[in-house]
Structures are given as C-alpha cells and as structure tokens.
Amino acid sequence: MAKNIVIIGGGIVGLSSAYFLHKAGHQVTVIDKSDITSGASFVNAGYITPSHIIPLASPGKIAQGIKWMFNSASPFYMKPRWDVDFFKWSWYFHKSSTKEKVEKAIPVIKDINLLSFDLFKAMKASGDLGEFQLERKGLLMLYQTQKSFDHEIDVAKKASFLGLEVKELNKEELTKLQPKVLVNAEGAIHYECDGHTTPTEFMPKLVTYLKSVGVIIKTNEEVIDVAFTDTKITSIKTTKAQYKPDEVVMAAGSWSGKLSKKLHISLPLQAGKGYRINVERDTGITIPSILMESSMAVTPMQGFTRFAGTMEFSGINTIVRRERVAAIVNGAKRFYPELDILPNEIDAVQTGLRPVSPDGLPYIGRSKDLTNLTFATGHAMMGWSLGPATGKLVSELIDAQKTSMDISAFNPNRKF
C-alpha cells in the first residue's frame, strides 16, 4: 500500500531513501533547509569503503582527543566548551571505545559497505542517473613510518580474514602503481576492494532523477516543529508549509539530534566537521589514498583531485579554521613533495558536518516511541559510502520486509 512519506534531510542518505521508497511505490517528499548544493554530501572524499572496518570509537581515541584538544590544527580536534550534550556524548564515546565493541562492529561495517557498493553499481546499471563516475581502483593506505605500517597491517589482516581483497606494496611497487607523481612513502597497503565516486557529480544527477519521477523536493525549507500523539507523528511544520505524513524518515544529518529533541527523543549525536580542497589540474594521482601520518584523504575525481580531512568537534557551525586548512595543505606536501596547492585553491575550501554517533555506527531503524518514525543518520565518516545501503534498508523497514542484512547493531534505541 502506497504511503505518503516525508524525509527530513536531502543529503546522500535522505535522497537514497527517497530513491528506494519511490521504487517501492510510495509518494515521497524530501525537505531540506539548504538548496542541496553543499554540506557533507558534497565535500566528502567520495569513498565506498568496505576496508573501513574500524569504527571511529576505538581504543585510545578519547585519550588522543584530549591530547589534541588544545591544538586546533590537530586531525582529531575536540573544542573545549561547556555543552552538556557534548559531555554526555563524550562519555558514551569513551564507553564504546573498547576492543570488544570494536571487534563486534567490524563484520557489520564490512557487510553494510559491501551492500552499499552493490547498490551503487545497481543504480549505475539501471541508467536512472545517466553516466557517473564509479570506479574500483582500491584505496592506498600510504605510510612513512613503521608505527603506521604496524597499525595498518593489523587492520589489513582482519580485512583479509573477512574476505576483502588486500595487498601489501613496497616502495617500488607503489611507484609502478602511481608513476606520474612522486610519492614520499615507504609503501602502502592496497585495499583493492574499495571504490570511489565524484559526489558533486552524483548528487545533482540523483536530485534530477528524483524530480523527474515525481519525488517532491523542498529546498531552503526548515522544519521548525513536529506535532505528535503518544505513539505517532501527526504533522510537520516548516518555515513554508505544513505536512501530514503517514511515515517520517529522520535523515537530517548533524541536525538529527536537535530535531529528535522536539519529539522528546534523546539521540546522542555530534557534528564532526570535515574540510576539502579541490585541485582542478592534473596532479598525476590516479588512485584514492589515505595519507596516514597526515590523517587525510586524496581522491582523483571527475575534473579535479580532492584533498580532504580532519574531524573537528566544535558544534554545528561552518566556520573555516585556517590552521586546519593549512594542516591539509602541509599534509599533502609531506606525501607529494612536488605538488603545490595554490592560494586560490586554498581560498575555495569548503566544510561539511558529519553526524557522529558515540560508537561510530549509524542509527538505522524504527523508533521505539513513535510508530511512524524511522531513523537514518549518525554515519560519521561513512555517510557517503553507506548512503544507498541505508536508503534500501529504510525502504525495507517502512514496508515491513525482511532487511537485506542484520541491522540490530544500528538500533537507534540502543544504550551506550
């Protein structure tokens, strides 16, 4: 039976949910406070990463964050501030950062990433969006020190055990793979299982397709209130209109926590700001790479190379911290000594806010309090990678179908 569904949020997760819900025969309206041309879904590294099996909340991460707290240029920056929600989230993050919880999360993260990769491929094969970049060149984890190698080889062994394709490369082998650019690295771990896209190409094509098939997309429209009874959302009020949906999908990214409060639901979530710089000229870089000691990502996209990185917890804001931008520029130079990022490229930097749950796993599932509310948020650094999978799972949940995978680990009602 067709339902009238409102999706709050027009990022990759919200639009992917609209895609699969429309395919299932529902009438879908997407509401976004922006014009859907910027934000985390546009400034990310474009990775589809089955290899990213370790959640953000891992042993030693909080200690590292505290160590870096007063260095605003650090890769993992937690701005000191008086914020009760941030204190609670930090405590939950600490509780989640155990070896046992990480080991439990690893196979689930792998499974949802593989599901999403298959769905990206299916979306391309369908022709719905026309032609778009979807390549599987893998991901190079470039290292300069023994410490970084020791850390990554341990992850690689876990990935290989789970059946993911991974290879160890020495300096000579790395040079053969990247012959057109000088790479200052001792070697790399090559996760051949990974793929990449160009977000600024994919997102507009997805919006265009959704509009063409009758999905209603409301931009520059902010949700300001949500009315509900004891068990059901009855209406959504925005800055421009009022809606009375049968079902609601909360896919508002970093704003999901604040909106959930309007429903008297506590959803621990913090905004993790990332930065990106685009270099619109030939860099010679042809394979996506993580520069380990610089804690940043490099991706060859359609028409440019993207340098992206940092995780900054400073609340919901789009303030550009120049010291963090400089850290990306310097980090790139450390690995690519012959590559200069130019002042005009630096000035065009953009930021995006990634919604981070305390354990680094997304919230995908039905609310236990409101029968017509489904959560689809909290993906941390995997939002782009997991967009289609989340959309597919959301459509299955709303249609009360068996989900494509076990999603109990993503339960939005879980305790920390």
Q: What are the pLDDT digits (tens) for 239-270?
A: 999 999 999 999 999 999 999 999 999 999 99
pLDDT greater than 80 at residue 75: no
Write the class of the CATH domain 4-410: alpha beta
- Domain-by-domain residue ranges, the chain? 4-410
| Residues near 268 by beta carbon (within 8 Å), at least 6 away in sequence | 85, 88, 89, 92, 257, 357, 358, 416
Name the percent of the chain lying above pLDDT 70.
97
pLDDT greater than 80 at residue 69: no
Q: What are the pLDDT digits (tens) for 112-170?
A: 999 999 999 999 999 999 999 999 999 999 999 999 999 999 999 999 999 999 999 99
Burial class from Cβ neighbours inside 10 Å (0-12, 13-18, 19+) for residue 408 reads exposed
Beta pairing class for 363-366 and 242-243: unpaired
Would the pTM count as exceeding 0.85?
A: yes
